């Protein structure tokens, strides 16, 4: 059964989530991944949406396109103020944060602010942080979902919007971020983790028919490799059917 890169990313992202946990999910592919996990293997997964929505159950065919629209609150447990959402993270109540970004470096730092080394005169000005810095700083684990392209995977991001492992070797804790960190990076080519000592990115698993050579050719820095490197199972027809029912208009699955 054929599938698009976005469908692959959503399915692989959904498999990272466990039952009886909480996930801070943004709209788009992260929300699709969380909703798919909730429908399939994690019925007690609690989704948290930045606009101030706790515990919704996304209705198939009614996928929200904003964190502030009421479709995102279908059967929600709570509708607190937006500031309270981040206070829950600060108090250690949120297990996972789902994020994307324009750039990611070998230590899992994310850039969604500017492209170019001059902040005030950038080549491209991006949307900025929103709540991304809070998510990366305060959730117990951060999972990054992104297309795998050499222009995205750079040795050092032009601007650290959201901290990963900063410079590695304990630098995150030295910066005052005493818990959390990026646990996995899920891309259209594979699943990546981080060396427990250096915190450099390493290949954990490749998607079906993807080679290490392809991954290295699409990465702007040297990757470590786990021993052994696994192979992910392709999306099943059942997973794809449920996923496509969530977004029948293919606003995010194209």
Catalytic (active-site) positions: 50
The contacts of residue 240 (CB under 8 Å, 6+ apart) are 1, 3, 7, 11
CB atoms within 10 A of CB 217: 10
Q: Kindly provide the residue ranges of all beta strands, DSSP E only, lying in 69-189, ordered along the sequence.
A: 96-99, 103-104, 110-111, 114-115, 124-125, 141-146, 182-187
How far apart CA 253 and CA 37 sit, in angstroms, is 16
The strand pairing partners of 231, in sequence order, are: 206
The answer to whether 74 touches 64, Cβ cutoff 8 Å, is no
Determine the distance from the C-alpha atom of residue 29 to the mean position of all C-alpha atoms in its chain, rounded to a whole number: 9
Cis peptide before 228 (omega within 30 of 0): yes
The answer to whether 97 touches 144, Cβ cutoff 8 Å, is no
Tokens of residue 182, six digits: 């990026």
Going from the C-alpha of 8 to that of each of 11, 47, 110, the distances in angstroms are 5, 21, 21
How far apart CA 147 and CA 237 sit, in angstroms, is 22
Tokens of residue 27, six digits: 């709209």
How far apart CA 115 and CA 207 sit, in angstroms, is 29
């Amino acid at each position: 059964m054929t599938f698009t890169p976005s469908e692959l990313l959503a399915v692989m992202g959904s498999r990272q989530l466990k039952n009886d946990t909480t996930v801070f999910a943004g709209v788009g592919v992260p929300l699709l991944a969380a909703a798919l996990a909730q429908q399939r293997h994690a019925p007690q997964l609690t989704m948290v949406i930045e606009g101030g929505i706790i515990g919704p159950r996304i209705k198939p065919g009614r996928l929200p396109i904003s964190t502030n629209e009421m479709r995102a609150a279908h059967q929600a447990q709570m509708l607190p103020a937006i500031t309270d959402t981040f206070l829950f993270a600060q108090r250690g109540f949120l297990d996972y944060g789902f994020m994307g970004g324009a750039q990611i470096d070998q230590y899992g730092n994310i850039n969604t602010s500017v492209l170019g080394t001059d902040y005030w005169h950038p080549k491209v000005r991006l949307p900025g942080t929103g709540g991304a810095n809070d998510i990366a700083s305060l959730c117990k684990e951060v999972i990054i979902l992104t297309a795998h392209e050499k222009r995205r995977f750079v040795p050092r991001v032009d601007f650290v919007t959201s901290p990963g492992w900063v410079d590695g070797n304990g630098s995150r804790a030295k910066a005052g971020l005493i818990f959390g960190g990026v646990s996995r990076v899920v891309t259209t080519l594979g699943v990546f983790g981080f060396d427990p000592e250096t915190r450099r990115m390493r290949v954990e698993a490749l998607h079906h028919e993807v080679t290490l050579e392809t991954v290295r050719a699409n990465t702007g820095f040297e990757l470590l490799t786990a021993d052994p490197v696994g192979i992910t199972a392709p999306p099943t027809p059942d997973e794809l059917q449920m996923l496509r029912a969530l977004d029948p208009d293919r606003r995010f699955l194209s």
